[in-house]
């Protein structure tokens, strides 16, 4: 589970276009602390896991490797921003190739 958590922290940090330094500053920890999490040398404390989930827009289950389905949390966004996100998702869903099962 520690390896999954390390990989997911790195994966989500990169997807959110954050450097280790930027993430560390947001969490009020050192860059070497974030690096240690991503190298699976240590795990974030419980409070930092909650903060990581908010910053990286995910759930703790996904971050910790309990759930394999990636989730994006949008509760913090205004209704207008959510509408834009839903429109983007619809746009990308329309571009996906249809499954061969049909």
pTM (two decimals): 0.71
pLDDT confidence of residue 101: 45
pLDDT, mean of residues 41-65: 92
* Distance of alpha carbon 25 from alpha carbon 40, whole angstroms: 20
Q: What is the per-residue pLDDT across 58-68, written as a single tens digit (0 to 9) for each?
A: 999 999 888 88
102: pLDDT confidence band, cut at 50, 70 and 90?
A: very low
Sketch out the chain's domains with CATH numbers: 2-63 (1.10.260.40)
């Amino acid at each position: 589970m520690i390896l999954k958590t390390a990989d997911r922290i790195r994966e989500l940090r990169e997807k959110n276009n954050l450097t280790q330094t930027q993430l560390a500053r947001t969490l009020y920890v050192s860059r070497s602390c974030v690096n240690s999490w991503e190298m699976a040398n240590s795990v974030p404390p419980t409070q930092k896991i909650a903060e990581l989930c908010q910053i990286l827009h995910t759930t703790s289950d996904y971050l910790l490797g309990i759930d394999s389905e990636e989730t994006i949390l949008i509760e913090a966004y205004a209704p207008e921003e959510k509408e834009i996100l839903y429109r983007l998702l619809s746009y990308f869903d329309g571009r996906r190739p249809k499954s061969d099962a049909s």
